[in-house]
C-alpha cells in the first residue's frame, strides 16, 4: 500500500476479543487539547518539514492514556459502540490507534471522521496550500494497513460520520482491504448481524442501517470520553441540503436522567476537566418537532450538570435558536459559568449571506424567521451569543450550486457587518455529500468575488484569533499553539493574496509553521517543558495594519457582555432586539 508502512507488532497471549474498537489519531489525538484542535488533522502532512512533522505528531497526536492498549479515555463514538456491544454480551475493547494492531480480535471496528480527506475543512486546507496528503487520510490508511498486516484473518469494518467518503472514491475500500463499510448508526444493527459477522456470514461489502432505526436509543457509556463529552440529542431536523440528510433527519432528545449518569461517569475520571454537550443545536434541547423557540429545558439541564463542579463546554448551535429567546440564552450562559474571564463558543453556520441561497438550500436553518431576514438573524444572533460570553466559530459554504456573484457579494457584505463581533469565520469549499450532487468545489474555481470573501474572512479570523486565547484564560499550551498557528496561517495567506502570489502555494503553510515555531522557541521542543506560551508570544497587529491600513481604522475591541447593545435599549440581542424581526411561527416553546 503506497505511502503507508505496516508496523510489525508483538501480541500478548491473553488479548483475544470479539471486537477491537478503535479510530485513527486524527480522532484520538492528545486529550489535553480542545475538540476544536481536531482541525489540525486537515493540515497537509507532506508540506511540513521533517522536524515539524515530528513535533506535530509527538505533541498533538500523542497516544491517549491506556492500560495495555485499552484506552482510558476515548472519543464518544467508540464509547457508544463499546456500550452497545458489551450490553449484547460480546467481549470488546476500545483500543488506542497505536496499540490496536497489537491486539487479537475476530473483527476490528474502525470509526472515522474524514478517512480520505474529502471533508469540507480538509479540501479547503489542502486546496489552498497545494498539499496532497492531509493528516486524517495518512493516519487512517496507516491504521488500516497495520491492522491488516498484523491480523490477516480478522475482519476490518469501517463506519462513522465520515464513511460517506467511501461512496465518493469507491475503489478505496478494496485498495485498503476493508471488508465491510457500515453507513448510519451501527447501534441500529440487531444482534443477529453481529453474530453473523463474527462467523463471516455477511456477504455484502456495504450496509446501510434501516432508515426506521436511524435514532436508536443510546446505551450507557462504560468509561470516560474525550472532553467529558455527553450526547444530549441525536439528529437535527433543520434539513439543510448540503448536509447528510439521512444521518441528520429528525431528532431525538436524550432524557435528562440518562445524561446526568453519563456526566457522573465522565466526572469521576482524572483525565476529564470539562463536561461537553454534544448536539447539532444545543439550545433547542427539550423542544418538540416544529417548535423553534428555545425554552428552559436546556437551562434546567445545565443547572444539574453544574453541580458536578466541571466547566461546561458546548459543540453546535444556530443563530436562530440563540435569538429566538435571548433570556434562555442568557440563563444558559450563567449556569455554564461564563463571564469575561471564562468564555466558551458554539460552532455555528453562517453558510451564506444570500436570502435566495437560504431559501433554496437551507430554509430550516433560520426558522422561525423568513429567508429575507437571514442577514439580520445572523447579526442579532451573534450579538446575543457574544453578549453572553459565547464566541461563534462560524462556517461559510463557498461554491454552492447555482451560487452567483451577487450571492457571494451579499455574503461578503454580511462578513463586513459582523467584523466588530469577536468570532472566527472559516470559509469551506462545497462538498457534494448529500442531495446536492455534482463535483467538488476547488480553489481554481474561485471567482473574484469569492477571492474577496476569502480575504475578508482571513482578516477577520486572524484579527480575532490573536485575542481570544488570551481572553479566555482556559486554553492549554497546545490549544494556544493551534490558535497561534491558525492566525499565522491566515496572516501569511492574506499576505500572499494581497501580494498577488495566488492560491495553492505550499509556501503559505510552510511560512505559517515557521512563524509558529519561531514564536514557540522557548517551549523547548522535545523536553516537555511547559511555559506560559501566550504571554511569551504576544504580538502587535502591525502586520495586519500594513496589509490593509483601513481595516483597523474604526475597529475597536468591544467589551464582552455588552457588544452591540444600543444605548438605552435595555436589550442584549445584537443591534436592536428580536422585535425587529418577524417570526413565522414560534411554536409552543415555553419561556
Q: What is the pLDDT of residue 92?
A: 97
**Mean pLDDT, all residues of the chain:** 77
CA distance 311 to 344: 10
Q: Pick from 576, 555, 559, 580: which is nearest to 567 by CA?
A: 576
Name the percent of the chain lying above pLDDT 70: 70
Say if residues 187 and 216 touch (Cβ distance below 8 Å): yes
pLDDT surpasses 90 at 377: yes
Asked which of 28-32, 55-59, 297-301, 356-360 is least confident by mean pLDDT, the reply is 28-32
pTM surpassing 0.75? Answer: yes
pLDDT value, residue 478: 57
Instruction: Give me the mean pLDDT over the 264-271 stretch.
Output: 95
CATH of range 16-213; options 2.60.40, 3.10.50, 3.30.70, 3.40.50:
3.40.50
Tracing cell 495567506 back to the chain, one arrives at 493
Q: Which grid coordinates are listed for 357?
A: 441561497
The residues near 82 (Cβ < 8 Å, ≥ 6 apart) are: 21, 74, 92, 93, 94, 221, 222, 223
Question: Which backbone phi and psi does 94 adopt, to 5 degrees?
Answer: -95, 115
Give percent of the chain above pLDDT 90.
42
* Pick from 335, 260, 263, 259: nearest CA to 296: 335
Buried b (16+ CB within 10 A) or exposed e, 233-251: bbbbbbbbebbbeebbbeb
Report the candidate in 482, 480, 505 with the shortest Cα–Cα distance to residue 494: 505
Most confident of the following: 84-98, 448-462, 564-578: 84-98
Amino acid at each position: 500500500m503506497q505511502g503507508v508502512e505496516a508496523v510489525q507488532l508483538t501480541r500478548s497471549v491473553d488479548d483475544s476479543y470479539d471486537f477491537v474498537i478503535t479510530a485513527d489519531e486524527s480522532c484520538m489525538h492528545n486529550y489535553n487539547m480542545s475538540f476544536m484542535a481536531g482541525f489540525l488533522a486537515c493540515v497537509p502532512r507532506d508540506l511540513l518539514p521533517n522536524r515539524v512533522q515530528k513535533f506535530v505528531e509527538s505533541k498533538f497526536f500523542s497516544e491517549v492514556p491506556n492500560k495495555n492498549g485499552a484506552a482510558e479515555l476515548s472519543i464518544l463514538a467508540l464509547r457508544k459502540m463499546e456500550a452497545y456491544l458489551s450490553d449484547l454480551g460480546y467481549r470488546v475493547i476500545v483500543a488506542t490507534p497505536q496499540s490496536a494492531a497489537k491486539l487479537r480480535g475476530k473483527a476490528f471496528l474502525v470509526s472515522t471522521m474524514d478517512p480520505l480527506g474529502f471533508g469540507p475543512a480538509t479540501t479547503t486546507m489542502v486546496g489552498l496550500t497545494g498539499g496532497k496528503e492531509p493528516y486524517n487520510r495518512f493516519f487512517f490508511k496507516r491504521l488500516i494497513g497495520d491492522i491488516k498486516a498484523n491480523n490477516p484473518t480478522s475482519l476490518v469494518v469501517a463506519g462513522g460520520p465520515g464513511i460517506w467518503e467511501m461512496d465518493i472514491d469507491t475503489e478505496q475500500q478494496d485498495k485498503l482491504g476493508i471488508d465491510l463499510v457500515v453507513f448510519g448508526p451501527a447501534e441500529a444493527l440487531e444482534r443477529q448481524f453481529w453474530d453473523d459477522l463474527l462467523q463471516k456470514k455477511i456477504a455484502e461489502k456495504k450496509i446501510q442501517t434501516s432508515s426506521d432505526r436511524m435514532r436508536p436509543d443510546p446505551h450507557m457509556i462504560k468509561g470516560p470520553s474525550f472532553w467529558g463529552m455527553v450526547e444530549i440529542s441525536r439528529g437535527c431536523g433543520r434539513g439543510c441540503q448540503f448536509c447528510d440528510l439521512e444521518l441528520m433527519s429528525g431528532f431525538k432528545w436524550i432524557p435528562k436522567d440518562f445524561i446526568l449518569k453519563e456526566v457522573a461517569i465522565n466526572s469521576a475520571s482524572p483525565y476529564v476537566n470539562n463536561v461537553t454537550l454534544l448536539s447539532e443545536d444545543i439550545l433547542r434541547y427539550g423542544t418538540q418537532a416544529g417548535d423553534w423557540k428555545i425554552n428552559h429545558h436546556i437551562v434546567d439541564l445545565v443547572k444539574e450538570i453544574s453541580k458536578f463542579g466541571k466547566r461546561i463546554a458546548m459543540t453546535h448551535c444556530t443563530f436562530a435558536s440563540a435569538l429566538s429567546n435571548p433570556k434562555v440564552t442568557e440563563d444558559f450562559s450563567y449556569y455554564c459559568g461564563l463571564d469575561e474571564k471564562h468564555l466558551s463558543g458554539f460552532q455555528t453556520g453562517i453558510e451564506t449571506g444570500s436570502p435566495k441561497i437560504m431559501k433554496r438550500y437551507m430554509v430550516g436553518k433560520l426558522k422561525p424567521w423568513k429567508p429575507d431576514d437571514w442577514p439580520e438573524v445572523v447579526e442579532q444572533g451573534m450579538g446575543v451569543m457574544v453578549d453572553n460570553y459565547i464566541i461563534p466559530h462560524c462556517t461559510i459554504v463557498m461554491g454552492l450550486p447555482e451560487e452567483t456573484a451577487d450571492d457571494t457579494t451579499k455574503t461578503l457584505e454580511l462578513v463586513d457587518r459582523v467584523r466588530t463581533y469577536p468570532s472566527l469565520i472559516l470559509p469551506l469549499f462545497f462538498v457534494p455529500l448529500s442531495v446536492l450532487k455534482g463535483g467538488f468545489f476547488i480553489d481554481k474555481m474561485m471567482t473574484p468575488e469569492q477571492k474577496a470573501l476569502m480575504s475578508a474572512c482571513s482578516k477577520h479570523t486572524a484579527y480575532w484569533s490573536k485575542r481570544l486565547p488570551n481572553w479566555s484564560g482556559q486554553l492549554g499550551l497546545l490549544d494556544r499553539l493551534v490558535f497561534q498557528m491558525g492566525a499565522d496561517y491566515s496572516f501569511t495567506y492574506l499576505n500572499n493574496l494581497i501580494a498577488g502570489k495566488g492560491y495553492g502555494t505550499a509556501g503559505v503553510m510552510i511560512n505559517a509553521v515557521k512563524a509558529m515555531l519561531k514564536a514557540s522557541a522557548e517551549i523547548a521542543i522535545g523536553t516537555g517543558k511547559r511555559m506560559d506560551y501566550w504571554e511569551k508570544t504576544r504580538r502587535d497587529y502591525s502586520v495586519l495594519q500594513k496589509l490593509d491600513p483601513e481595516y483597523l481604522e474604526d475597529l475597536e475591541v468591544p467589551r464582552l457582555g455588552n457588544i452591540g447593545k444600543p444605548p438605552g435599549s435595555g436589550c442584549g440581542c445584537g443591534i436592536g432586539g428580536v422585535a425587529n424581526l418577524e417570526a413565522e411561527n414560534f411554536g409552543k416553546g415555553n419561556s
